[in-house]
């Protein structure tokens, strides 16, 4: 699996020109295959999303690297992730930040990710079953927030409330299938500054109210 992992990182660097060495060296160390059920493992190092059951997917390696890069973590941050899925993105974040709080709406995925992360020794990741539109108020405010499910045209206001001043929120946004990767920064005055990046595809963010 190590060779395949090296190939994965090489693809992110050469095909997409993504260069943050910290993110890539973390991705080189984490056994991505351990985050998916055995029946889906063949595809785990290919350059695309991987099924994790319950109609959900683990993001493409490039997407994980891209979103992590946009957070510009230094190791001191408290991060909130919405959409735990397999727990892989949370594992990557945990090696680049102080602590990761992650919320997943499907109970079986939340339980599965919690187990995997514990087994692999990721002690600074906390998983909770719940809906991301409420964030995780108890541990707020966060230095960084990442949404790994495709939102509509708005970020739930509650998430901005739980973001520290000077903090960054990264989320895929858009009405249709194409989502625009968007980075928001909450400045010292509490104003939100938006910056748009490329187009990505995601499983949809589910509103609990539906
Ligand atoms: N970060 C994940 C990718 C998961 S895909 C990984 O590394 O594997 C997106 C996940 O968001 C799915 O597991 C889906 O169930 C979850 N999700 C969708 N709507 C949600 C919501 N409202 N709150 C929390 N999780 C949600």
**Residue 209 covered by a domain:** no
**Residue 208 covered by a domain:** no
**Residue 96 covered by a domain:** yes
**Number of domains composing the chain:** 1
Between 16 and 196, the more confident residue is 196
Q: For a pocket test of ligand 1, which of 149, 170, 203 has the largest count of ligand atoms closer than 8 A to its C-beta?
A: 149
Residue 19 in this model has a pLDDT that exceeds 80: no
User: Which residue's alpha carbon is nearest to atom 14 within ligand 1?
Assistant: 83
**Residue 206 covered by a domain:** no
What percentage of the chain has pLDDT greater than the value 90? 93
The pLDDT tens digits of the residues spanning 199-210 come to 999 999 998 754
**Residue 207 covered by a domain:** no
Atom of ligand 1 nearest to the CA of 59: 3
The kind and range of the H/E element at 180 are strand 179-186
Burial class from Cβ neighbours inside 10 Å (0-12, 13-18, 19+) for residue 11 reads: middle
Whether cis (ω within 30° of 0) applies to the bond prior to 141 is yes
Encoded tokens for 32 = 């991505």
**Residue 112 covered by a domain:** yes
Active-site positions read 59
* pTM of the full structure: 0.97
The pLDDT tens digits of the residues spanning 92-137 come to 999 999 999 999 999 999 999 999 999 999 999 999 999 999 999 9
Evaluate whether 205 touches 183 at the Cβ level (below 8 Å): no
Task: Give residues (CB < 6 A) around ligand 1.
Answer: 56-59, 82-83, 85-86, 88-89, 103-106, 109, 131-133, 148-149, 203, 205-206
Question: Which CATH number is 40's domain given?
Answer: 3.40.50.150
Owning domain of residue 22: 2-201
d(CA 51, CA 175): 23
- Give the strands of the sheet with 99-104, arranged side by side: 125-129, 99-104, 78-82, 142-147, 163-173, 179-186, 192-200
**Residue 97 covered by a domain:** yes
Evaluate whether 61 touches 11 at the Cβ level (below 8 Å): yes
Q: For a pocket test of ligand 1, which of 58, 85, 95 has the largest count of ligand atoms closer than 8 A to its C-beta?
A: 85
């Amino acid at each position: 699996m190590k060779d395949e992992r090296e190939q994965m990182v090489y693809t992110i660097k050469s095909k997409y020109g993504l260069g943050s060495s910290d993110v890539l060296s973390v991705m080189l160390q984490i056994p991505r295959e351990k985050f998916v059920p055995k029946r889906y493992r063949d595809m785990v190092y290919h350059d695309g999303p991987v099924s994790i059951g319950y109609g959900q997917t683990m993001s493409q390696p490039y997407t994980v690297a891209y979103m992590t890069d946009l957070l510009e973590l230094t190791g001191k941050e408290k991060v909130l992730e919405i959409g735990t899925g397999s727990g892989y993105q949370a594992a990557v974040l945990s090696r680049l930040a102080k602590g990761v709080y992650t919320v997943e709406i499907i109970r079986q995925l939340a339980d599965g990710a919690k187990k995997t992360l514990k087994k692999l020794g990721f002690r600074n990741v906390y998983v909770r079953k719940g809906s991301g539109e409420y964030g995780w108020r108890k541990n707020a405010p966060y230095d960084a927030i990442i949404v790994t499910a495709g939102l509509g045209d708005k970020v739930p206001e509650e998430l901005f409330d739980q973001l520290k001043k000077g903090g960054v929120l990264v989320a895929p946004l858009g009405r249709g299938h194409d989502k625009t990767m968007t980075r928001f920064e909450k400045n010292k005055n509490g104003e939100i500054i938006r910056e748009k990046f490329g187009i990505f595809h995601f499983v949809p963010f589910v509103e609990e109210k539906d």
